[in-house]
Structure 1
Amino acid sequence: MRTSIALAFCVSGVLAQAPSLTDLIASQPDLSTLGTALGSVPDLAETLAGLSNITILAPTNSAFEALLAQADTPESIGVNSSDVQAIAAILAYHVLNGTYVSSDFSETPTFVSSLFLPSFDGSIRTNVTDGQNVGLTLDGGNATILSGELKSANVIEEDILAANSVTVHKIDSVLTVPRNASTTLSKIPDVELTAALGALTAANLVDTIDSVADLTIFVPSNAAFTTAASAFANASIETLTSVLTYHAITGAVVFSSDITNTTVKTINGNDLTLSVGADGTVYVDNAKVILPNIVLSNGVAHIIDTVLNPEDEVENPTPAATPTPAFPGATAIGTDVPFTSALGTSPTRTGTASSVPTSTPSPSEFPGTAAQVKGALGGAVIGFGLAMML
């Protein structure tokens, strides 16, 4: 009993001696840029001072400098450098709702919510009800933070304690704020997605996937659409819309680590069957998820290897290396990737996602582009005299 009491007093003493978040950041020379940034948004700084059980992902001075070095010219940015709300939103994306210490990181990514909420009114926005997500994972044994556009930052100093049970991890890169679906999917490396973007454009669904709250969308690759091209050769807009909305769920942002063997209701209204193979691979009906967890401004996207068919719901999926065709008898047509004409281009099957033209719809409701991120904070560097910011 006496030992327990002594231990409790010891822990209490350690917590009592922990500096405030402001004092902790001020005491770290390599976090001076972050400290100045927080000073430029006093409302956020005051909010953080009153919170407990949060985790701060703290970019170092060199992280801000590296981002600033990549910034576009002011002429190409077109963002008001006094957009304090945008600066606050980006900093809030680095604050996690909960305490996450180094031992909480594992090889299976865990996605957690941040304090970057839809209530922020700046040019940098999110539409995830519980707060925009970041991923925590181990990469080669190193604690790593996953953010928008599949970008990552490494934790270089971990588990620094502040008062009110606040944990700080120093990171070597500023997190990339997630962008909308149409913009993000046009920039994913190594996976061709122009067919999906073209199909969404042809069905007038781009605004929907870019703006609807709490979206989970399963996006077939170009190869998937090419294999089933004949099934869509004479499809009506209604049929195409039915197929595409069968690939999306609203009301829940579902990451791969959250998926179990279950069924979910799609926007289409039909049930979609989710399952997990023995090796941890995720399947959607009989389609395999080949690239999971692409964080979007309004949710998450997972890339799959087969176009799903709402008329062929799979109650008991059979995970296999070779997917079962959802459109039996469908074949490729010629050498062009389906639906890319809706984007103003018709790349062949060897094309890449970079072939999506600049005219690809990118609705302004959730702009959050890299230029805007860099512009808002890059302008703040001048405006506030900080040798920093995005």
Structure 2
Amino acid sequence: MILKDMKMGMSEQSILSCYHPDAHDVFDVTSSLSKVCRELRDPKVRQHEIQVSLFSAVRPMLAERAEPRTVERRLNREPFFSETKFDGERLQVHKDGTEFRYFTRRSHDYSSGFGATADEGSLTQYIAGSFRSDVQSCILDGEVIGFDPRHERFVSKGSHVDVKSLTENSSLQPCFVAFDILLLNGQVTTNMPLHKRVDLLEKAVVEVPGRIQISRRQKGSTREDAVRFLNEAIENQEEGIVLKKVTSIYKPNARKAGWLKLKPEYVDNLVSDLDMLILGGYFGEGRRSGIVSHFLLGVASGDCDDEGMPQSFWSVAKVGSGYSLQELDELLAQLASKWKVYDPKRPPEKVVLAQGLKEKPDLYLEPRDSVVLQIKASELVRSSQFRTGITLRFPRVALIRHDKPWHDVLSYTELCELEKAAGGKLATAMVSLDEEDGGSPAKKRRVGAYAKGHPAAHVHASHSSAAVVGTHQQFSVVSSLCRAQFEEMKASVAVAVVFVQLVACYPNLGYIGNQTFLYRFFNSVPGVVRTYPESEHTIESLTGTLPAEWQNVSTKRSNLIEIAKKLNLTKLVEAIIKVGLAGLLNHEGPFTLFGPTNEAFENVPGYCRYVPLKYVIKHHIALGAHKESEFKNNLLLDSFVPGRKLRINIYPQTHSVTVSGRNITNTDNVASNGVVHVLSEVICTLFKGSAAFELGRCRAYSVLDALIKTAGLYDALDGDGPFTVFAPTDKAFSKLSPDLINKLKSNVTALKEVLLYHVVPDVWYSAGLTNGQLKTLQGQSLNIAVDGGVRVNDATVILPDAAVSNGVVHSIDTVLLPKLLTTDPSFSTARL
């Protein structure tokens, strides 16, 4: 199941349109793939009118980004309504009698929290009586926002308020602000003009201050009106405004349909620019996998040396937008020889992160080697993720400042002063019509912005743009010290490589002459054509038959490919060839190849069959040659996927040695460029995040994630560990009585006892478990039974061995309750 953008260059529109011409429209108003498939079975039958229906999430209409000077042109000089752009979460309210449903912008159903009936939830019980007596059914579109009843004000989402998780004991309460109505008493209203829908909305809803309100609107028709409305929003410290053509109809999921959003940061010279230093880099994902695509930013700490230079820089934000791909590539080329691998065991003195090394970068820079970035953002908000305790909301790069020295940046003291001013908002100036007349678009093409003080780039004649497939960039040729080595590597992997700035083969990184590291680092430096194609092969495509040219390959030395063939790992070799890594494993190294057998590939879990093959194979390659004699429990090895580690575990009780939970059945098959160890199972995925982080990303554990945060255990489970977490799914929690859940939420001590009863110190993959007991962090022990599967007390492990950065997570079907709860009379309602 695809839950997020796969960053594969193909949108949902592309896929849905292949199924049926109307598929995307139906999906927009139902958010249901099953309904799309049922209603559009015949591609020859067209849908003449797409119906909005109760309790089916409608994908909301969206507003297009704009500036005041373009308003008249974009709205065809027609009258418009101006509404406050609220800083909450988009929400639809579906009402049918006393039954309610709530859907977010991404069609997630949060009815259980807000309340499915008139007498329950954090919202429904307060708004169920706010509809006029003749309103039987309706669908409202709006935003839900945290409301502070004590100070009678809305609270910004940037204040890290999860309005969906607010309870009766919270200091804030959810308030729904309605601005549109899509259905009323069974009649779809989306084809009515906005002014008529507004009339219906105001007649249908009776406001309850702090619980349900109707968005206030003003009417205008000119850019002067737009400027006035935006200045009022700035004065009121609001996020911005939304302008809506009064005649606009409601078009689900449409962005260019008569709604415009205006924010101060969209207007040049209106928001303070902040000069910050690049402290580190993060590898990207998808097509930018292995390439630095985001940067860690910092400010001067305030402590200076004898020369008056900052002694250290504190982390403040992470930025990954505002620059073009060309600007990014050129910046990376400039910094290529400066990067150092961030080692959490020996953190650099001059780059200071938040306690617990939060937002740790993959690479870092010495401040003197770095570059200043000019940053724009909407506001400053509090955050424990960065050393400053303050971060930027919606940051983007406005300019790369080659004219500024590394030390001439914002200081921590100045940052604090900005945060105190105007409640953290960075827009304090007002919009001027004169500036609007002479201004330029906020998102303008910065021709030559990067070039200041930067030498013109060129390419060696043998590597002109016409000769290099897959790149349109040009890069300067530097460092004759490395040229011979790179020529040899280029020839050995049989791929066109453009030389990049690699001063003395990265002496700062201590990997002089290490081609293993250089190959990995090539993927984070622009100008290199990758040595593997971005193909989308899967395990399903493997046959075990090698191409003819690979069947009788003989070399003077037994490299990793030859050893794998001798071990009859033909599906592994076939996969390596298909993803384009054969040249590398034939000639380069040293590497450790963990090779699954043919049977292992045939018996992978269902979900693994559709993971892109290139990621699966890279999970089986470790940098360096590691023999069994080097193995020790919880040894971490760098895999070929940046940021992902392979974990070695030794379990004497089961006579097992595992890598990321997979049994190693045959060790130390030595090759000329590394070593091969045979596995009985395939490593399908390696998660980069911690147990706490990955549980929070998966909707199947939403209840567990919320309880971990309520108990204040998130930071502990986000730490180094190592841990084994037996994670109950949401379905497992549904077996508990609501009374018990409420008691646990109100008794943090008891809640911690329950949660820590699910956590075992050290890493216990299923391969290492035997019949017996494991002591938990709560103090009591779990009973483990192994017989064709794994049982933990009364729970069954339904999805084992999810490898996370600080251990392993096993999914279980029943919540584990320690004895002190099951014997405590006050918790006698533990089970249904």
Q: What is the TM-score of this pair, normalised by structure 1?
A: 0.46
Report which of the two structures shows the higher radius of gyration computed on alpha carbons: 2
More helix by share: 1
Q: Tell me: higher relative CO, structure 1 or 2? Use CA pairs within 8 A at least 6 residues apart.
A: 1
